Amino acid sequence: MTSTETRADRFVRELADLKVADPATGHPRLWQRLGVTLMVLGVVLGVTAYLVSHRTTSPLVQGDAITIGLGAITLGVIGSALFIRYSLTGFLRFWMARQSYELSMLAERMAGREIYELPGPDPAPAAGRPPMVASTPASTAAGTGAGSAAAPSRNSDGGAAHA
């Protein structure tokens, strides 16, 4: 946020750099279907290869069947990769965001910084960190003393507004 020109100009520049995915090709739904199709095709080809090799004694034909079978595996792998890429990523993204958030929370707690918790509907864990830890010097929580200097006003503030 510097001057008027900068943000607007940067906006225009970034838009120019942006590749607008053709809404038709960018559809994850399509890719997902392609993935499923490929997986099914892989299975079908595998079975076909088995039948082909089963019905002949010619090693040449059996060699072809092996090749078909390998192709089937390849298709299956590509298909499942596509499927996973376009189906699970949405879900995994949130999962990862959640994980990393919880990790950073944990890190902060271990660093002894205060984490404020509202007296919410769920009872605070008894041993971990009592919600009003900062205002009660007799708190049993270990290692929360360091960062609590700024806490009392906030806690009482929040409590007052809440009550």
Partner 1 sequence: MNALLELRGVHTAYGELSVLHGVDVRVAPGEVVALLGPNGAGKTTTLRVAAGVHPVRSGQLLLGGRDMTGATPRDLARAGVCLIPEGRGVFPNLSVRDNLTMMTFTGHSRKQIEEIAFTRFPILAERASQAAGTLSGGEQQMLALARGLATDPAVLLLDELSMGLAPLIVTRLYEQVAEIARQGVAVLLVEQFAAAALGIADHAAVLVRGRVERQGLPDGVLRAELSALYLGSSS
Residues of the shown chain interacting with partner 1 in the complex, contacts defined by CB under 8 A: 1, 3-8, 10-12, 14-16, 18, 20-23, 26, 97, 101, 116-118, 120, 154-155, 157-158, 161-162
Q: Which is nearer to partner 1, 59 or 120 (CB)?
A: 120
3, two tokens: 């001057």
Q: Which is nearer to partner 1, 55 or 93 (CB)?
A: 93
Nearest approach, Cβ of residue 118 and partner 1 (Å): 5
Nearest approach, Cβ of residue 37 and partner 1 (Å): 24
Q: What are the CA-CA distances from residue 34 to residues 42, 48, 123, 152 (Å)?
A: 12, 20, 48, 58
- CA–CA distance, 54 with 67 (Å, rounded to integer): 14
Q: Which is nearer to partner 1, 21 or 126 (CB)?
A: 21
Nearest approach, Cβ of residue 126 and partner 1 (Å): 20
Nearest approach, Cβ of residue 82 and partner 1 (Å): 19
For the residues of 146-160, what is the DSSP string, one character each?
GGGGGHHHHHHHHHH
Residue 155: name the closest of 135, 136, 141, 137 by CA: 135
Nearest approach, Cβ of residue 46 and partner 1 (Å): 37
Q: Which is nearer to partner 1, 81 or 105 (CB)?
A: 105
Residue 159: name the closest of 127, 123, 118, 122 by CA: 118
- CA–CA distance, 100 with 105 (Å, rounded to integer): 9
Are the CB atoms for 49 and 65 separated by under 8 Å?
Answer: yes
Q: Which is nearer to partner 1, 20 or 60 (CB)?
A: 20
